[in-house]
Amino acid sequence: MKLNRFTISAALVLVLSVSATAQSILPNFGGDRSGTSGFQFAKIIVDARSASMGSSNMADAFDASSLYWNPALASRMESSEFMAGHTVYFADINMEYLSYVQRKGKFAFGASVQYLNSGDIKETTEFQPFGTGRTFRTIHMNVGLTASHAITELFSYGITVRYLMERIEEVEIKTGAIDFGFFYTVGETGLRFAVGINNFGLDTSPSGTTIRETTQGNEEVSDFADVSLPTRFNIAAAYDAFENEQNKLVITGQITNPSDNSERVGLGVEYGFMKQFFLRSGYEFGREERIIPSFGAGIKVPFAGRSFSADYGYTQFDRLGTVHRVALRVAL
């Protein structure tokens, strides 16, 4: 039996809505895992489009942000692309993201860099809560190399090898990780699915020393507990609910199971006009800080014989405040 677009859209929304409702009704002990891993910066969304759609488009990231979400989508891109993203995070912290994807037939190869610098932070201790007069900063970096292969017109896979580093004072943490991703599109129905694992790897031990003030005076500390990666498992779906020559409506959904927190369900929607102007919104169920949906917009125009895109994403959190994201993409 051939399903129409309305039936598929309703089924997609129903499945994801039931998942979100069950999450709030059934017992969930995922919160007990909070704070059990390091490299938390690797979980910060790097692109404006995904953030504005409630972190739900792992099955619809057909641009250079695929290197962060799902490497299998890199080989589904229409052309090679360069992307630069900037995130204005909490407490005046900024994060940068650069990625490049080179298409080559049914293959795609890419490289990405995620970089966060906290800036100067005043040092305080339990003995000097108003400050010691010294400052420190934290530096976080995530570098990835990606390979993707479209086996058929319907199925593709990809893998990313990562190097992650964090430095706090004189203590440094370094490790490697792997992302796996798979993508499948259901013929010409407009429905597609994706499955992926991000930041999969072994625990690592910090190196270096730091000075801590105690009741017996300053003490040098060099023995630290092992740090684990914030691995997450994702299942996502996307559907072109409506499309004609001028208008297109995309519905996205994603279930994320992180190793260090409770499960989350994201729902998103994007309206496109003339394939040039876009409005987006989304919401994440399972995040206590979320009080309103996220919003965003984008524009895509020809530029010097190429395609130039600019995106903006706005996310509001209850106590932490707002997060603004911008991203620029150039199709080569």
Question: Model confidence at 179, in pLDDT bands (50, 70, 90)?
Answer: very high
Q: In percent, how much of the chain has pLDDT > 70?
A: 89
pLDDT digits (tens, 9 = 90+) for 106-145: 999 999 999 999 888 888 888 888 888 888 889 999 999 9
Spatial distance between the Cα atoms of 66 and 89, rounded to a whole number of angstroms: 21
279's enclosing H/E stretch is strand 277-285
Spatial distance between the Cα atoms of 181 and 30, rounded to a whole number of angstroms: 23
* Mean pLDDT confidence for 155-181: 95
The pLDDT assigned to 173 comes to: 95
- Full-model pTM: 0.88
**Helix, coil or strand: residue 31:** helix
Spatial distance between the Cα atoms of 7 and 184, rounded to a whole number of angstroms: 20
